[in-house]
A and B are shown apart, each in its own frame.
Chain A
Amino acid sequence: MEQIYWPSVFFLIFGGLACAFSLAVLLSTNIVRMAFYLVLALAATAGLFFLAGQEFVGAMQLLIYVGGTLVLLIFGVMLTSQERFVNMKTPAGDWVLGMIAGGALLSLLTAAAFSVPEWRSPERAAVEKLQAEPNATPIGMGLLGARVDKIDAPTSEQAGRSGYLFPFEIVSVHLLVVLIGAAYLARAKRRANPLPTG
Chain B
Amino acid sequence: MTISLLANLLTEPPGPAHYMTVGAVMFVCGAMCMATKRNALGVLMGIELVLNGANLNFIAFGSKYLNNGGPDLGLDAPLIALFVIVLAAAEAAVALAIALNFYNNHDSIDVDRADQLQG
Contacts and interface: CB of A to CB of B under 8 A. Distances in A.
B29 A109 contact: no
Which size bracket describes the interface of B in this complex? 35 or more
Q: Which of A4, A18, A94 has the most CB of B within 10 A?
A: A18
Given A11-B18, A38-B49, A54-B62, A135 B44 contact: no
Contacts of B24: 105-106, 109-110, 113
Given A11-B9, A48-B56, A139-B78, A185 B94 contact: yes
Contacts of B15: 119-122
Q: Which of B82, B87, B104, B108 has the most CB of A within 10 A?
A: B82
Contacts of A109: 20-21, 24, 27-28
B68 A118 contact: yes
B100 A80 contact: yes
A41 B27 CA distance: 12
Contact of B12 (A8, A56, A68, A112): A8
Interface string A34-45: 110010011001
Contacts of B74: 149
Which size bracket describes the interface of A in this complex? 35 or more
B63 A53 contact: yes
A54 B9 CA distance: 21
Interface of B: 1-2, 5, 9-22, 24-33, 35-39, 41-42, 44-46, 48-49, 52, 55-56, 59-60, 62-70, 74-75, 77-79, 81-83, 85-94, 96-101, 103-104, 108-110
Interface of A: 2-5, 7-9, 11-12, 15, 18-19, 22-23, 25-26, 31, 34-35, 38, 41-42, 45, 48-49, 52-54, 56-57, 60-61, 64-65, 68-69, 72-73, 75-77, 79-80, 85, 88-90, 94-95, 97-99, 101-102, 105-106, 109-110, 112-114, 116, 118-124, 126-127, 130, 135, 138-139, 142-143, 147-150, 164, 167, 171, 174-175, 178-179, 181-183, 185-186, 189
